[in-house]
Amino acid sequence: MPFGLVTGRQYDFVAPYARAWGPAHVVCNGACLVDAAGNVLEQALIDPDVLHDIYAFVKSVGGTMVLKTHSQAFGDAVATRDAQARGVRIFPIESLPDWRLPAFYVADLAEAHWQTLLARADVLLCRQKYRTRSGTFADGTAPGISKASGVRWWCAHLAIQTEAVVAIGDGENDLPLFEAVGLPLAMGNAVPALKAAAQQVVPDVDRDGVAWAIAQVWGNGQ
């Protein structure tokens, strides 16, 4: 049975696992389907003018924004320095090849500025709780693009029905994914809304919930 990652991260963040764990994976919060080597199979891009406008707004109000290709992330000096302190690689935005991109990340905004971004119809923002200065961040994609659209690409590529898919998740951005698949399983550390949407809650990360779920579903509990 095929296994795939469905993540908000870009490919380079999960490359060692992607190369080992399956023929295709969903990255950038559903905006890209890549093969195990990181080659793009499907991709939905955001209008470059929209990205320029959002980037200018976020920087003008003191927020953080990281731009993503399918495989790499790009940010300003502050974002790059913060990422390095956490052991994450973000390239200088000056080295970005162009602004035809599938996804971005936004954080550190005041609530009024969040509402300005969330009101836009030309991007889809999935706001999530995390340890940032403002307490939340958001993944941004083109309208209609989410982990649900990504898993539909994955299923089409592998000739699998979405009803046959088992998904394991823990964050707000997994809600569309759970609505698209046949068996949604929430981690014990998942946000409450995801637990409510799941058919079953499995052990948390500290108790190897993913391994437990895989053993239950594919290994007959062994």
Query: Mind listing the pLDDT tens digit for each residue in 8-53?
Result: 999 999 999 999 999 999 999 999 999 999 999 999 999 999 999 9
- Phi and psi based region of residue 220 (left: phi greater than 0; alpha: psi -120 to 50; beta: remaining): left
> Please, what is the average pLDDT of the chain?
93
**Residue percentage of the chain with pLDDT more than 90:** 80
Tokens of 221: 């509990």
pLDDT at 133: 54
Tokens of 91: 């390239």
Sheet architecture: strand order including 166-169: 166-169, 183-186, 200-201
Whether the pLDDT of residue 93 is over 80: the answer is yes
Q: b/e per residue, 95-128, with b = 16+ CB within 10 A?
A: ebeeeebbbbbbbbbeeebbeebeeeeebbbbbb
Cα 207 to Cα 219: distance, rounded to the nearest angstrom: 18
Amino acid occupying residue 16: P
**Residue percentage of the chain with pLDDT more than 70:** 96
Cα 149 to Cα 157: distance, rounded to the nearest angstrom: 12
- Summarised one tens digit per residue, pLDDT across range 115-165 is 999 999 999 999 987 654 557 899 999 999 999 999 999 999 999 999 999
In this structure, the number of other CB atoms found within 10 A of the CB of residue 147 comes to 31
pLDDT at 29: 97
pLDDT at 83: 78
- Higher-pLDDT residue of 83 and 182 is 182
CA distance readout (Å), 96 to 60, 68, 76, 189, 193: 20, 9, 11, 36, 36
What DSSP designation does 102 have? Answer: S
Pick from 121, 117, 155, 157: which is nearest to 139 by CA?
117
Domains and CATH numbers, the chain: 1-160 (3.30.1240.10), 163-222 (3.40.50.1000)
Burial class (CB within 10 angstroms; exposed 0-12, middle 13-18, buried 19+) of 82: middle
